[in-house]
Amino acid sequence: MPWMPTAPGRRFFAVRSAHGETRSAHGETAAAADRPPASVRAMDTLTELTPTVWQLPFPVGHVYLVALPDDGYAVVDTGVPGSAPAILGALARLGGRPQQLRQIVLTHSHLDHMGSAADLAAATGARVLAGALDAPYIRGTAPEPPPVPTPAERSLHEGIMAGLAAAGVPPLRHTEVDTVLHDGDTLDGWGEEVRVLHVPGHTPGGIALHLPASRVLFPGDLIATDPEGRRAVLGPFNVAREEAIASFRRLAALEDVDTVCVPHGVPLRTGARDVLAAATPEKDWL
């Protein structure tokens, strides 16, 4: 479920406006009306985190592009529905063509992560990979279990859902999952070992990716950070909070992690292990 970090404090997260910049006091201008909703327009930056990993930020989260050794690319998560043009635009900025996108890896089944997978797969022919237990929700063959928000999360969740409705996000299209992933699997084609970790709690079948050689972690929504990247917290809107806390602790205990590519907040680029070790997910969102 989409959410964004704001200033530190008890209300650690808030919705970022997805449409204020496109409206004046007199309504939409013609130029604004011609643009896609702000919620699916990538921000101007494409940030290199490592020699092979780039962050593409959106108003409701981040997508990560990964260069593969065969001149192809992988994408980790896909944003809300309607984000595919911006992702393909970022790929072009890196010198890639649509047919060079090889893999679409979904960390979990929430709208802001799998929302544009169907469009990207259709445009590129890339394979879709996801955790085995979330695959039915991504395919649309089973109803997705709703999150169980804590009292502190409840009003935020309601505001986000209202914001999505107001932002003009296109309808969700489900997609086939070509490869289902399990704990202990490894991904082919990345030029180094990529370990798949089943990290349930945020969703039943959420996964994380750990690249020990390059010391990179893609944690999905289990881990978020503050705007300065100095504090890590448990992501909100979990289906099973205690499971999510245990999964957070599993990721925080990993060796060989310098860079943490969080979907919400600021990626951790230095001192990641210390930040994760100092985290207190048991207390977040109470």
Q: What is the pLDDT of residues 167-217, one digit of tens each?
A: 888 999 999 999 999 999 999 999 999 999 999 999 999 999 999 999 999
Residue whose C-alpha is closest to residue 135's, from 157, 158, 114: 114
Which H or E run includes 273? helix 272-277
Coil/strand/helix, residue 143: coil
In the numeric block, which tokens belong to residue 182?
């399990």
Indicate if the pLDDT at residue 11 is higher than 50: no
Which H or E run includes 215? none
* pLDDT given for residue 132 in this prediction: 99
Indicate if the pLDDT at residue 8 is higher than 60: no
- Report the percent of the chain where pLDDT is more than 70: 85
* pLDDT given for residue 37 in this prediction: 58
Residue 47 binned pLDDT confidence (cut-offs 50, 70, 90):
very high
How many whole angstroms separate alpha carbon 195 and alpha carbon 179? Answer: 15
How many whole angstroms separate alpha carbon 276 and alpha carbon 263? Answer: 15
Residue 128 binned pLDDT confidence (cut-offs 50, 70, 90):
very high
**12 or 118: which leads in pLDDT:** 118
* pLDDT given for residue 35 in this prediction: 52
**109 or 31: which leads in pLDDT:** 109
How many whole angstroms separate alpha carbon 256 and alpha carbon 86? Answer: 32
In the numeric block, which tokens belong to residue 199?
């990290």
Indicate if the pLDDT at residue 143 is higher than 80: yes
φ, ψ at 208 (rounded to 5°):
-120, 155
φ, ψ at 190 (rounded to 5°):
-95, -5
Indicate if the pLDDT at residue 266 is higher than 70: yes
Indicate if the pLDDT at residue 70 is higher than 70: yes
Range 42-143+176-277: architecture per CATH: 4-Layer Sandwich (3.60)
* pLDDT given for residue 285 in this prediction: 87
Residue pair 270/260 in contact (Cβ under 8 Å)? The answer is: no
Indicate if the pLDDT at residue 12 is higher than 60: no
* pLDDT given for residue 27 in this prediction: 31
Please state, rounded to an integer, the average pLDDT across all residues of the chain. Answer: 87
Residue whose C-alpha is closest to residue 284's, from 215, 237, 227: 237
* pLDDT given for residue 157 in this prediction: 85
* pLDDT given for residue 165 in this prediction: 82
Among 1-10, 150-159, 194-203, the least confident range: 1-10
